[in-house]
């Protein structure tokens, strides 16, 4: 059938650039010869060796990993606590506060770049990991996601715990959190992915090559090795692999998280 | 990604503003002062971890951006108040029109491509097709890849002299274009790479929408003698309109903010041919030392995005059918 042919041809078009990236990365001198080789005559890992020898690339990978893990943990904590307040702790003006929280999602990062840069410079936080982390300490998206999940947890569970003498801290930790694991998993993936792939803010705040993250270092590689495409593609492979691993493990969560966002 | 749920989220917040149910632990007026203070402290303990960073790193800078936009400032020397001069000089500068035009050009190329592509794939995968989750997984792969990697890989695929695309075209006897090195082809190259990255995202959203359509509708239409095209026009597309709306809103918001792939593929070149608004904000701030103008331009961009989004939310009544 025609539609099936579309699916198959399209899938090849999706996969080919990935395959070509890997092939190029093991083709010494790719980009120097006029005719690209579909398979290298002498495949080698030379480009990877160059990559890790000439730039603090191992450090860059660790930077990205560390920042992604830290962002994820911090956002899980700040989102879960705020979501609990918005779901379970009534107070005057809560609706307004929640609307303000959500409105922050609409503000593009570009509007904040200049003042944020000036602010973090005043705090002496340029070229620090903390400076890279601070703007993503809280995520309105994460708060919204977890609040939806907490709203689904039956209130009878809280009430029973209250009768047993549990306070809000206990209810939060031992009743709410275990009951919203799937939403926590979804947020973990999105937070990690967001940090791992983020570009504009790290580009602005992390100028020191030792502190840079993968996307920034990759963009820099391209300037440095204008014709050594094997090295640039090796860098791309290294930067895609962890995300790919996470994707293969959590594919269901990721796709369902996105799909449900469009339904409503 | 953070912008993902924004429009519905805000609508929903407005609905849920008054707390509809008071849980057992709600503070009652008759409770002692100490108990009320204790409760307030509990609320603060839960809210402050998120409220402080949002106030300091989103809301504060947002207000500061207004202040900065009214000043002449190169990030170093003291700020000098200039009123609305930054806005005036941006409006007088032809480059401003150009960067908005390029950005809109990007959207005009990108949106039909990802929507039609995503729709075709979603329709195909919605049929009883073997290994649906495998195909879906393949198409979603570029979505989780960073923009920088996508841009670099496409820069290499579309390399005018040694890239595989032009080599393949040459094999067919076609003289391939200069892609990102040619002012006329720079933006189409960026559009192509972006559509490749995002088509799987659109497909997943539309597929979820398709699967929510009641199959009885199709049976009824078949009984009435409606052919496949008729069913597509009269049932599928109208029933899919909420998902389409979501895709269009998100694509326009993200489209106006296009930056990463432009920065890595062309840097706005050649000769400014693919310079977009955000790249211009970045350059004004960090290359030309015009932070005041950059802040003003960022507010203009925000105003445009907001206006476009609001117009769509108002206009949806005309074409979006909610069940």
d(CA B231, CA B220): 10
For A38, nearest residue in chain B (alpha carbons): B164
- Angle subtended by helix axes B183-211 and B147-157, to nearest 10: 130
Cross-chain residue pair B257–A110, CB shorter than 8 Å: yes
For A85, nearest residue in chain B (alpha carbons): B46
pLDDT above 50: residue A161: yes
Q: Classify each residue of B11-28 as buried b or exposed e, where b means 16 or more C-beta atoms within 10 Å of its C-beta.
A: ebbeebeeeeeeeebebe
* Phi/psi at B163 (5° precision): -75, 155
pLDDT digits (tens, 9 = 90+) for B177-200: 989 999 999 999 999 999 999 999
Distance from CA of B230 to the nearest CA of A (A): 17
Query: What per-residue confidence (pLDDT) applies to B162?
Result: 83
Q: Which residues of B touch A141 (CB under 8 A)?
A: 1-5
Sorted by sequence, the CB contacts under 8 Å of residue B49 that are 6+ apart come out as A77, A78, A81, A82, A138
Sorted by sequence, the CB contacts under 8 Å of residue B61 that are 6+ apart come out as A111, A112, A115, A116, A119
Query: What per-residue confidence (pLDDT) applies to B61?
Result: 93
Rounded average pLDDT over A179-184: 89
Residue corresponding to tokens 């209130």: A155
Kindly state whether residue A42 falls inside one of the protein's structural domains: no
Provide the pLDDT confidence category of residue B244 given band limits of 50, 70 and 90.
very high
Provide the pLDDT confidence category of residue B22 given band limits of 50, 70 and 90.
very low
**Length, in residues, of chain B:** 323
Query: What per-residue confidence (pLDDT) applies to B18?
Result: 45
Provide the pLDDT confidence category of residue A107 given band limits of 50, 70 and 90.
confident
ipTM of the complex: 0.86
Kindly state whether residue A11 falls inside one of the protein's structural domains: no
Kindly state whether residue A32 falls inside one of the protein's structural domains: no
Distance from CA of B65 to the nearest CA of A (A): 6
Cross-chain residue pair B149–A215, CB shorter than 8 Å: yes
Rounded average pLDDT over A116-120: 93
Provide the pLDDT confidence category of residue B24 given band limits of 50, 70 and 90.
very low
Spatial contact of B243 and B209, defined as CB atoms under 8 Å apart? yes
Rounded average pLDDT over A149-155: 91
Provide the pLDDT confidence category of residue B290 given band limits of 50, 70 and 90.
very high
**Total number of domains in chain A:** 1
Spatial contact of B278 and B259, defined as CB atoms under 8 Å apart? yes
Sorted by sequence, the CB contacts under 8 Å of residue B226 that are 6+ apart come out as B234, B235
Q: Which residues of A touch B40 (CB under 8 A)?
A: 91
Rounded average pLDDT over B128-144: 85
Cross-chain residue pair A113–B148, CB shorter than 8 Å: no
pLDDT above 80: residue B19: no
Query: What per-residue confidence (pLDDT) applies to B1?
Result: 36
Provide the pLDDT confidence category of residue B20 given band limits of 50, 70 and 90.
very low
Selected residues 167-196 of chain A with any CB under 8 Å from a CB in chain B: 167-169, 172, 190, 193-194, 196
* Chain B interface includes A12 (CB < 8 A): no
Kindly state whether residue A68 falls inside one of the protein's structural domains: yes
Residue from the list B138, B147, B205 with its beta carbon closest to the beta carbon of A259: B205
d(CA B322, CA B216): 17
Rounded average pLDDT over A185-201: 90
Provide the pLDDT confidence category of residue B28 given band limits of 50, 70 and 90.
low
Kindly state whether residue A249 falls inside one of the protein's structural domains: yes
Residue from the list B5, B60, B121 with its beta carbon closest to the beta carbon of A10: B121
Residue from the list B40, B136, B162 with its beta carbon closest to the beta carbon of A31: B162
Kindly state whether residue A26 falls inside one of the protein's structural domains: no
pLDDT above 70: residue A33: no
Helix (H) or strand (E) holding B72: strand B71-72
Spatial contact of B258 and B276, defined as CB atoms under 8 Å apart? yes
Cross-chain residue pair A36–B163, CB shorter than 8 Å: yes
pLDDT digits (tens, 9 = 90+) for A224-250: 777 788 888 999 999 888 888 888 888
Rounded average pLDDT over B206-211: 89
pLDDT above 50: residue A178: yes
pLDDT above 90: residue A126: yes
d(CA A40, CA A172): 57
Q: Which residues of B touch A32 (CB under 8 A)?
A: 162
Cross-chain residue pair A15–B60, CB shorter than 8 Å: no
Rounded average pLDDT over A129-151: 92
Cross-chain residue pair B8–A264, CB shorter than 8 Å: yes
Residue corresponding to tokens 């960026």: B190
Query: What per-residue confidence (pLDDT) applies to A228?
Result: 83
pLDDT above 80: residue B14: no
Q: Is the dihedral of CA A150, A154, A157, A162 positive or negative?
A: positive
Please report, for residues A27, A207, B64, B156, B295, the alpha-carbon distance to residue A109 in angstroms, rounded to integers and kept in the order given. 39, 19, 14, 29, 12
Q: Which residues of B touch A196 (CB under 8 A)?
A: 146
Instruction: Pick the more confident residue, A181 or A78.
Output: A78
Kindly state whether residue A6 falls inside one of the protein's structural domains: no
Q: Which residues of B touch A108 (CB under 8 A)?
A: 3, 257, 298, 301-302, 305
How many C-alpha atoms does A133 have within 13 Å on its Cβ side? 19
Tell me the pLDDT of chain B averaged across its residues: 87
pLDDT above 90: residue B3: no
Chosen for mutation from A110, A163, A199 (greatest number of chain B CBs closer than 10 Å) is A110
Query: What per-residue confidence (pLDDT) applies to B161?
Result: 83
d(CA A28, CA A39): 11
Min mean pLDDT across A248-262, B14-28, B169-183, B254-268 is at: B14-28
Joined tokens for residue B73: 């400032």
Distance from CA of A35 to the nearest CA of B (A): 6
d(CA B202, CA B111): 10
Query: What per-residue confidence (pLDDT) applies to B323?
Result: 64
The domain that contains A117 carries what CATH number?
Answer: 1.10.3720.10
Provide the pLDDT confidence category of residue A135 given band limits of 50, 70 and 90.
very high
* Chain B interface includes A100 (CB < 8 A): yes
pLDDT above 60: residue B5: no
pLDDT digits (tens, 9 = 90+) for B43-56: 999 999 999 999 99
Provide the pLDDT confidence category of residue B115 given band limits of 50, 70 and 90.
very high
Parent domain of A209: 47-262
Selected residues 113-142 of chain A with any CB under 8 Å from a CB in chain B: 113-119, 134-135, 137-141
Rounded average pLDDT over A37-48: 82
pLDDT above 90: residue B163: no
Query: What per-residue confidence (pLDDT) applies to B30?
Result: 60
For the beta carbon of residue B279, count every other beta carbon within 10 angstroms. Answer: 23
Selected residues 35-74 of chain A with any CB under 8 Å from a CB in chain B: 35-36
Instruction: Pick the more confident residue, B68 or B30.
Output: B68
Kindly state whether residue A21 falls inside one of the protein's structural domains: no
Spatial contact of B246 and B273, defined as CB atoms under 8 Å apart? no
Spatial contact of B254 and B246, defined as CB atoms under 8 Å apart? no
pLDDT above 70: residue B300: yes
pLDDT above 60: residue B142: yes
3-state SS, residue B81: strand
Joined tokens for residue B321: 């059918």
Q: What domains are defined for chain B?
A: 27-87 (no CATH), 88-319 (1.10.3720.10)
Q: Which residues of A touch B123 (CB under 8 A)?
A: 3
Tell me the pLDDT of chain A averaged across its residues: 88
3-state SS, residue A28: coil
How many C-alpha atoms does B106 have within 13 Å on its Cβ side? 32
For A261, nearest residue in chain B (alpha carbons): B5
Provide the pLDDT confidence category of residue A125 given band limits of 50, 70 and 90.
very high
Query: What per-residue confidence (pLDDT) applies to B91?
Result: 95
3-state SS, residue B71: strand
């Amino acid at each position: 059938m025609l539609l099936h042919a579309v699916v198959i041809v399209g899938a090849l078009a999706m996969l080919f650039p990935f395959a070509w990236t890997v092939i190029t990365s093991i083709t010494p001198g790719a980009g120097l010869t006029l005719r690209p080789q579909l398979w290298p005559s002498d495949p080698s890992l030379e480009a990877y060796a160059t990559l890790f020898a000439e730039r603090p690339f191992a450090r860059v990978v660790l930077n990205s990993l560390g920042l992604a893990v830290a962002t994820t943990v911090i956002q899980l904590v700040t989102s879960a606590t705020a979501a609990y307040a918005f779901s379970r702790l009534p107070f005057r003006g809560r609706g307004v506060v929640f609307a303000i929280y959500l409105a922050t999602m609409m503000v593009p990062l570009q509007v904040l770049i200049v003042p944020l840069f000036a602010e973090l410079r005043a705090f002496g936080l340029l070229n620090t990991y903390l400076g890279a982390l601070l703007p993503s300490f809280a995520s309105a998206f994460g708060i919204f996601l977890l609040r939806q999940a907490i709203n689904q947890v039956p209130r009878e569970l809280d009430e029973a715990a209250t009768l047993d003498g549990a306070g809000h801290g206990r209810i939060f930790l031992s009743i709410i959190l275990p009951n919203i694991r799937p939403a926590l998993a979804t947020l973990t993936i999105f937070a990690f992915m967001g940090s791992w792939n983020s570009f504009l803010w790290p580009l602005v705040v992390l100028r020191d090559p030792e502190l840079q993250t993968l996307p920034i270092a990759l963009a820099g590689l391209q300037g440095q090795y204008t014709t050594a495409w094997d090295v640039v593609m090796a860098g791309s492979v290294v930067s895609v692999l962890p995300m790919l691993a996470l994707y293969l493990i959590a594919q269901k969560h990721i796709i369902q998280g996105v799909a449900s966002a469009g339904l409503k | 990604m953070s912008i993902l749920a924004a429009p519905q989220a805000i609508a929903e917040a407005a609905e849920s503003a008054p707390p509809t149910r008071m849980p057992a632990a709600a503070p009652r007026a008759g409770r002692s002062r100490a108990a009320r203070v204790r409760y307030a402290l509990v609320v603060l303990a839960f809210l402050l971890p998120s409220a402080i960073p949002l106030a300091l790193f989103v809301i504060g800078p947002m207000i500061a951006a207004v202040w900065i936009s009214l000043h002449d400032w190169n990030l170093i020397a003291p700020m000098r108040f200039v009123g609305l001069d930054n806005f005036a000089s941006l409006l007088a500068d032809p480059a401003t029109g150009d960067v908005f035009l390029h950005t809109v050009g990007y959207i005009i190329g990108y949106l039909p491509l990802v929507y039609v592509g995503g729709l075709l794939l979603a329709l195909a995968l919605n049929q009883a097709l073997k290994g649906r989750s495998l195909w879906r997984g393949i198409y979603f792969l570029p979505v989780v890849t960073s923009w920088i990697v996508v841009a670099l890989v496409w820069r290499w695929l579309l390399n005018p002299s040694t890239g595989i695309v032009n080599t393949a075209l040459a094999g067919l006897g076609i003289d391939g274009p200069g892609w990102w090195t040619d002012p006329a082809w720079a933006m189409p190259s960026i559009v192509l790479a972006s559509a490749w990255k995002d088509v799987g995202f659109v497909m997943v959203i539309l597929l979820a929408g398709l699967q929510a359509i009641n199959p009885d509708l199709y049976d009824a239409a078949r009984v009435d003698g409606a052919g496949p095209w008729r069913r597509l026009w009269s049932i599928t597309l109208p029933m899919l309109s909420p998902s389409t709306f979501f895709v269009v809103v998100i694509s326009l918001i993200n489209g106006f903010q296009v930056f990463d792939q432009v920065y890595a593929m062309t840097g706005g070149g050649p000769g400014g041919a693919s310079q977009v608004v955000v790249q211009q904000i970045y350059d004004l701030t960090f290359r030309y030392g015009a932070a005041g103008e950059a802040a003003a331009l960022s507010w203009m961009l925000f105003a445009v995005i907001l206006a476009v989004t609001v117009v769509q939310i108002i206009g949806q009544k005309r074409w979006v059918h909610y069940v």
